[in-house]
Amino acid sequence: MRSVTIATISLLVSATNAALQVVSGATWTATNTGQHIQAHGGGILKVGEKWYWVGEDKTNGTAFTNINCYSSSNLVEWNYEGALLTRTSSGDTGPSRVIERPKVMFNKKTNKYVLWMHIDSSNYGEAKIGVATGDSVCGKYTYVRSERPLGFESRDSGVYVDDDGKGYLLTEDRRNGLRINALSDDYLTITSNVYTWKEKYESPAIAKKGGVYFMFASQLTGWDPNDNYYSTSTSLSGPWSGWKKFADSGSNTYASQTTYILPVGDGFMYMGDRWISSNLMRSTYIWLPLTLSGTSASMKNSINWVLDTATGAMAAGASENSYEGETATLSGGAKSQSCSGCSGGKSAGYVGGSTSGAVVFGNVQSDKATKTTVRIKHLNGDSSQRVADVVVNGKSVRTAFLPHGGGDPASSVVHVELKQGSNEIRIAGTGGWGPDVDRIMVPLS
Ligand SMILES: *[C@@H]1O[C@H](CO)[C@@H](O)[C@H](O)[C@H]1NC(C)=O
C-alpha cells in the first residue's frame, strides 16, 4: 500500500512539473526586452502568485543607473517591469555612485515595500546602508536616506523577515565583522545589534528550516569567487556555529557569490552571482537546489535542472539530443567555420548581417508536445550582447547572446513550444550579426 501511494504521488509531481529549465551561467533573455536580464546582486519576493526579482542594472558598468524589477510566474521566464529607483542628477542616487545588493521586504503593518541597499561613493569609502519605500512591489520607490548602521561601516547587505514578521538587516562591517541588526516594526529604522561574527564574511543571506537559522556568506575576495560558507543557530542572537562550506570544496561555490536564498515550496534555491568584473553587464546568475537538513547545508552543481514551483521539488533536466550548427542547413551568408572550442571543431558563422545568414535545424525531435528549454552553445567575440531570432515552427523568440569571453562557447537559453515528433528551429539575425552557433541541446521530453 505504501509503495502504491508513493508511486501515485511521484506521478502527480511529474505531471505538474514544468519542463522549463534553470541553466546557471547562461544568457537569460527577458521575455519583453530581448536583452540579458540585469538584476545582479538581487533577491526575489513572492507577492500573490507571482515572483518579483529585484537587482542591479549593470548595463553600463559599476556606477548606479537603475534598480530593476522583473516578474515571473515560474521563476524561469522573466518579464521586465521597470526600475524601482533610477539615477538622479545628484545625491545618493546621483552620477558615479555605487548602489548594490538591493533587497525588498513587504511590511504588513504599513502595507509598504521596503528596499534596503548598499550605498557608496565610487571608491567604496562611504560604506553606508540606504532605504527606500514603495507602494507596489515593482513600482517607483521613494528614496528615504542613507546612514552607517549604528555608526558602523556597511558594505554588502541583505535582509531577513522572520516567521513572526520581525525584520532584520544583514550588514558587513569590515572593521568588526558581519552583523545582524534588528529593524523597527515599520522596517525603516535600525534599532539594535543582534549579533556580530568576529570572522570576516560578506554577501550575507539567511534561510530558516525546522527552527534552524542558516546564515550564508562569502569570503572577501572582491569580484572573484571563493568557497562560500554557512553558520547555523536556533536563535538569531546566537550562539552561532562555526562556519562550514556548503558547495564542493575548491569549486569557488561553482564560480559564484551568494546573493539570496529563496524558499520555494518545501525547498530552497541558492541564488548567486558569477561576476565578470571586466564587463559587469555580462555577469550571469547561478541558481541551484540547496539542501537544508538539520543543521547541515549542501549544494551540488547542475548544468540544467527543473523546478516545480508548487512543491519546491528540483530534478535534473530531461535527456537531450544535440544538433551541430555546422551540419544544419545554412542559408544566406551563413557558413561552417573552424572553432577550436566547439564540439566537432566547427560552428556555423556569419549568422545575420547583410547577407541574412540563418542556421536551420530541420528535424529536431521531441517525444511530446511541450514547452521546454533549448540551450544554444554560441560564440560572440564582441564586448556587448548580440541578438538573434530563434524561430520554432514559425514562432519567433528574440534572444540575447552574451559575449563568450574568449574561451569555450557560452550558453544562451530559449523557452519554446515543441510539437511531438519533428520540429524546425531556425536561428536568424535581426539586422546586425547574430552569434556563431556551435550546437543546440534539445530535451526529448
Ligand atoms: C547606457 O549608456 C548608454 C550610452 O550612454 C545609454 O544610452 C543607455 O541608456 C544606458 N543604459 C542604461 C540602462 O543605463
* Ligand 1 centroid – CA 233 distance (Å): 44
- Please give the mean pLDDT across all residues of the chain: 95
Stretch 384-407: mean pLDDT, rounded?
97
The whole-number pLDDT of residue 18 equals: 63
User: Is residue 12 over pLDDT 90?
Assistant: no
Q: Looking at domain 17-316, which of 2.115.10.20, 2.60.40.10, 3.90.76.10, 3.20.20.210 is its CATH number?
A: 2.115.10.20
Long-range CB contacts (within 8 A, 24+) of 385-388: 385/27, 385/35, 385/36, 385/281, 385/282, 386/352, 386/432, 386/433, 386/434, 386/435, 387/34, 387/35, 387/430, 387/432, 387/434, 388/351, 388/352, 388/427, 388/428, 388/429, 388/430, 388/434, 388/435
Read off the pLDDT of residues 180-211 as tens digits, 9 standing for 90 and up.
999 999 999 999 999 999 999 999 999 999 99
Domain ranges for the chain: 17-316, 320-443
Percent of the chain with pLDDT over 90: 95
Read off the pLDDT of residues 328-366 as tens digits, 9 standing for 90 and up.
999 999 999 999 999 999 999 999 999 999 999 999 999
Rounded CA-CA distance 431/439 in Å is: 22
* Ligand 1 centroid – CA 143 distance (Å): 22
The answer, yes or no, to whether any atom of ligand 1 lies below 6 A from the CB of 423, is no
Q: For residue 14, name the pLDDT band (cuts at 50, 70, 90).
A: very low
The whole-model pTM stands at 0.95
Nearest CA to ligand 1 atom 10: 60
Q: For residue 16, name the pLDDT band (cuts at 50, 70, 90).
A: very low
Read off the pLDDT of residues 310-322 as tens digits, 9 standing for 90 and up.
999 999 999 999 9
The count of other CB atoms within 10 Å of the CB of residue 12 is 11
Coil vs helix vs strand at 186:
coil
Which atom of ligand 1 is the closest one to the Cα of 38? 13
Nearest CA to ligand 1 atom 3: 60
* Ligand 1 centroid – CA 194 distance (Å): 41
Dihedral over alpha carbons 278, 249, 221, 28 (to 10 degrees): 30
Question: The domain at 320-443 falls in which architecture?
Answer: Sandwich (2.60)
